[in-house]
Amino acid sequence: MNSLALPTALPEDIGLSSARLDRLTQLMQDEVAHGRVPGAVALIARRGKIGYFECYGYCDPVKGTPMSKDAIFRIYSMTKPIVTVAAMMLFEQGRILLGDPVRNICRNSGICKSRLRAAIRSIWCPRRVR
């Protein structure tokens, strides 16, 4: 299966680490095994190619229906995924470090508008971005 008709590639061919992706796989399997997550789908693409596309756990844990790569999820709040993507974009640009306290990012960078600042604070502050 291929998402959005993107070609697939070996992780190393697009700058990803198979060893680190294996750690992600193990983490997700552990989350399912401990009952913290019923199921999940992870897709990582870089340079226009999919380097990692896996599913874990169950779509319906009660019925035992396994998760599929084409599962549809209801997202109740978009604030967290949007802010997370924005933070990763800033990290890639070298404008923030992942260990920086969010309050410093908002105070020092001038990149946060008041509504975005409030959204970020409601999610992360005073914790670190990690």
pLDDT at 65 over 60: yes
Evaluated on CA atoms 123, 73, 1, 58, the torsion sign reads positive
Q: What is the DSSP string of the chain?
A: --GGGPPB--GGGGT--HHHHHHHHHHHHHHHHTTS-SEEEEEEEETTEEEEEEEEEEEETTTTEEP-TT-----S--HHHHHHHHHHHHHHTTS--TTSBHHHHHHHHS---HHHHHHHHHHTTTSB--
Higher pLDDT among residues 4 and 38, named by residue: 38
Across all residues in the chain, what is the average pLDDT? 82
pLDDT at 127 over 80: no
Q: Output b/e per residue, 22-51; b: 16+ Cβ within 10 A.
A: eeeeeebeebbeeeeeebbbeeebeeeebb
pLDDT digits (tens, 9 = 90+) for 74-109: 878 788 788 888 888 888 888 888 787 776 766 655
Catalytic sites, residue numbers: 77
The domain spans of the chain are: 3-66, 79-123
Can you give the pLDDT at residue 7? 94
Q: What's the mean pLDDT in 31-56?
A: 94
